Structure 1
C-alpha cells in the first residue's frame, strides 16, 4: 500500500490513558502487517525516548515535533554524566553530591546551581537550575534523555517562565518560545522557528506550529488519524492531505445511556469536530458499529467507520486452576470510571467469599481522589480486602492478571474497553455494566462473564460471587473468554483496517 499513516497524539506519558495505549497497539499491528505508520506527538518531552521503551515502541516508530525541528529523531547514543560533563569547570566549581537524585554546584562556598539527575539513570544530567544572588531560580537547562541540552528556560523573579530556547544537539538554537501575561496567567504567546530551511517562522500557538509541522511531514498520500479531540483544529488546518480522520475512543455523549438520542449533549471536546471541522475531515472512526450507527443518524453528511481500537497481539495461556479469590480493576482510577462502586460491593461479597480481594491497578485522577477512595475503604472496613496500586506494564502487569479470577468494570459508558479485551487474552471471566458501547461487544452474558444493568450493585456483587465461588463455572467462562478473544485478534482487526483502506 502506497499510503503512509500518521497517528496524531499529544504525547506518550509516564501514565497513559487508553488513547495512547490504542495508538501504541495500532503501531505494532501495522508493523506486523508491513503498513508504513508513525505515532506523531506534539508536546515537548525530554523523557519521550525513555518512556516508549517501556511499551515496546522503537525510536523509529515515533516522530515528535520538537525532535523534528531539532533534527534529532534517533535513539540514545550518548550518556551525559555530570561528573564528566563540560557543564562544570572542575577548576572553578565544586560538585556537592547530595544523593542519587541531585547535586549542587558551588563556587567559593556559594551555591550557584542544582543538578537534578535524569530519572531512572545513574548520574546523567536531567535539569540544571541556576540561582541568582538571592537564591531564586533564574534559569533552567533541560537535558534530553539522549544526552544533550534540549532547552533553556529563563524565569521571571516570581518563578514564572518568561522565555525559552530550544536547541539542536550541536547547541544551536532552533526555536524561541515567548511567554507573556494573558489575564492573570503567564502563557506562551509566540513560537518562533529560527533559520528553518533558511527562514524564520512565527506562530501564535503551539497548535499552529503543530499544523505547520504536520504539513511538513505530509503529502497527498499521507493518511492522518487523529487520536486526540484536543487536536481537532490542529489536524483540521493541515492542507497537504485530504485524508484526515478522527478516531474516537470513548462514548460521545455526557450521558452514555442517551448516546442514541440525536439531541443528547455531546462532550464539549467533540464540539469543534462536529460544529467547525466537519468538512476538514474525511471521516470518523469509532470502536463499534453501534456507535457509528448512532453518530450517522446524528450527522448524516459525515462518513463513519467501525474498527476495534485494540487488537490482541498474543494470547497468554491461562494459569490453570486460579483458585484464589482475586478480582481486579485495571484502567484509569478516575471519577468518570465510577470506581467507588467497585469498593462498595466488597462487604457484600465478603459475606459469601470472606477472603475476596480487590486490586485496583491504574493511575489516579488526583491525590485528593485517591484520599477519597482510601476514606471509603476505611469507612467500609475493608482495608485488608482492597489494594490500590500504580499502573503496571510488561511482566509486572502480567503477574497481576495471571492471579486474577474475575476482571471487573463499573464505568457508566465506554467506547470499547481495552482492559476487558486484555482480560480475554488471559482467559479471565469478566463482570461489567451493560453500557454503551463496549462491554456487550466483549462479554457474552453467562458465557465468558456477566453483564449487569448499570447501577445495580446487588446484582453486580452476586455475579462476582457466582464466578468466584464456582470452580466449574469459572473454568467454563475462562474457556469461552479465550474463544471470544479471537474476535479481537490481530488478524481480524487488520481485516477491519484493510476494509477501511479500500475506501481511501
Structure 2
C-alpha cells in the first residue's frame, strides 16, 4: 500500500485514556504489518520521548508539531547533567544541591535561579527558574528530555506568562507565542513561526498552527485518522489530502441507552463533525458494527466503517490458575465510569466471601474524587477489601492481571472497552453492565462472564460471588475467555483494517 497513515492526537500523557492507548495499539499493529503510519501529536511536551518508552513506542513512530518546527524529531542523544552543564559558570556561581529534585544557583550568597531536575532522571536539567532582584521568577527555561533547552518563558512580576520562545537545538528561536488577557483569563493569542522556509507566519490559535503543520506533512496519498473530537475542526480544515476519517472511541449520545435513537442528544464535542464538517471527512470509523449501524441510520449521507480498534498481540498466564478472591477494575477512575458502584457491591460480596479484594487500577479524575471514594470505602467498612492504585504499565500491570480472578466494569456506556479486551488475553472472566456498545461484543453472557442490566447492583454482586466461589464455573469461563480472545487477535483486527483499506 502506497498510502501513509497519520493518527492525529493531542498528546501522549503520563496518564492516558483509552484514546491514546488505541492509537498506540494501532501503531504497533500497522508497524507489524508493514503499513506506513505515525502518531501525530499537537501539544508541546518536553517529556514526550520519555513517556512513549513506557508503552513500547519508538521515537520514529511519532511526530510532534513542536518537534517538527524545532527540527528535532529523533531520539535522545545527549544527557544535560547540571553538574557538567555550560548553564553555570563554576567560577562565578555556586550550585547548592537541596535534594534529588532541585538545586539552587547562587552568586555571592544570593539565590539567582532554581534548577528542577527532569523527572525520572538522575541530575539532568528539567526547568530553570531565574529570579529578579525582588525574588520573583522573571523567566523559565524548559529543557527537553532529550537534553536541550527547548523553550524560554518570560514572566510578568505577578507570575503570569508574558510570552514564550520555542527554541531549536542550537538555541535559535523558531516560534514565538504571545499571551494576553481575554476577559479575566490569560490565554495565548498568537503563534508566530519565525523564519520558517524564509518566512514569518502568524496564527491566531494552536489549532490553526496544527492545521498548517498537518498540511506540511501530508500529501494526496496521506490518510488522516483523527482520534480526538477536540481536533475535528483542525483536521477538517486540512486541504493537502481528502482522505480524512474520524475514529470514535465512545458512545455518541449523552444517554448511552438512547444511542439508537436518531433524535437523542449527541455529546457536544461531536457536533462540529456531524453538523459542520460532514463534507470534510470521507468517513467515520466506529469500534463496533452496532454503533456503525446506529450512526448510519442517523446520518445516511455519511460513510461509516467498523473496526475493532484494539488488538491482542499475545496471550498470558490464564486466570484459570488463580485461586484467590481478587477482582480488578482497570481504567480511568472518573465519575463518568460510575466506579463508586463497584465499591458499593463489596459489602454484599464480603458477606459470602470475607477475603474478597477489589483493586482499582487507573488514574483519578482528581484528588477530591479520590478522597470521596476513600470516604465511601471507610463508611462501608471495607478498607481492607479495596485498594486504589495508580495505573500500571508493562510487567507491573501484568502482575496485577495475572492474579485477577474476575475483571469488573460498571460504566453506563462504552465504545468498545480496551480493558475488557485486555482481560481476555489473560482468560479472566468478566462482569459488566450490558450497555452500548462494547461489553456485549466482548462478553458472551454466562460463557466468559456476565452481562448485567445497568444499575442492578444485587445481580452484579451475586454474579461476582458466583464466579469467585465456584472453581469449576471459573475454570470454564476462563477457558471461554481465552477462546473469545481470538476474535480480537492482531490477525483478525488487521483483517478488518485491510477491508477498510480496500475502500480508500
Report if the CA contact (8 A) 2:320-2:427 is conserved. no
Q: What's the secondary structure of 2:321's corresponding residue?
A: coil
Q: TM-score, normalised by structure 2?
A: 1.00
Structure 2 counterparts to residues 17-36 of structure 1, below 5 A: 17-36=17-36
Separation of aligned partners in 2, 1:158 and 1:184: 14
What pairs up with 1:286-297 in 2 under 5 angstroms?
286-297=286-297
Q: Which runs of at least 4 in structure 1 moved beyond 6 Å after TM superposition? A: none
Q: Secondary structure at the match of 1:116?
A: strand
Query: Is 1:304 matched with 2:304?
Result: yes
**SS of residue matched to 1:484:** helix
SS of residue matched to 1:201: strand
Q: After superposition, where does 1:50-449 map in structure 2 within 5 Å?
A: 50-449=50-449
1:380-422 Cα offsets, whole Å, 9 max, x none, are 0000000000000000000000000000000000000000000
Distance 2:319 2:438 in 1: 26
Contact 2:329–2:358 (CA<8 Å) still a contact in 1? Answer: yes
| Length-normalised TM-score, structure 1 | 1.00
Task: Please give the alpha-carbon distance, in whole angstroms, between the structure 1 residues aligned to 2:94 and 2:151.
Answer: 24
User: What residue number does 1:496 align with?
Assistant: 496
Deviation at 1:309, TM superposition (A): 1.2
Q: How many residue pairs get matched?
A: 504
1:334-389: CA deviation from partner (whole Å, max 9, x where unpaired): 00000000000000000111100000000000001000000000110000000000
Distance 2:144 2:227 in 1: 25
Q: Which structure 2 residue ranges, 5 or more long, are not aligned?
A: none
Determine if contact 2:75/2:146 at 8 Å carries over to the other structure: yes
TM-superposed CA distance for 1:317, in Å, is 2.8
Asked if 1:42 corresponds to 2:31, the answer is no
- Kept in 1, the 8 Å contact 2:320–2:479? The answer is no
Aligned to 1:2: 2
| Partner SS for 2:411 | coil
How far apart, CA to CA, are the structure 1 residues paired with 2:177 and 2:41? 18
1:319, distance to aligned residue in structure 2 (A):
5.0
Secondary structure of residue in 1 paired with 2:444: coil
CA distance in 2, matches of 1:442, 1:377: 30
Mapped to 1, the partners of 2:315 and 2:156 lie a distance apart of: 54
> What is the CA distance between 1:320 and its match in structure 2?
5.0
SS of corresponding position for 2:244: strand
> Structure 2 matches for 1:449-460, cutoff 5 A?
449-460=449-460
CA shift for structure 1 position 158: 1.0
Q: Give 1:468's aligned residue.
A: 468
**Deviation at residue 157 of structure 1 after TM alignment:** 1.2
**Aligned-partner Cα distance in 2 for 1:154–1:301:** 50
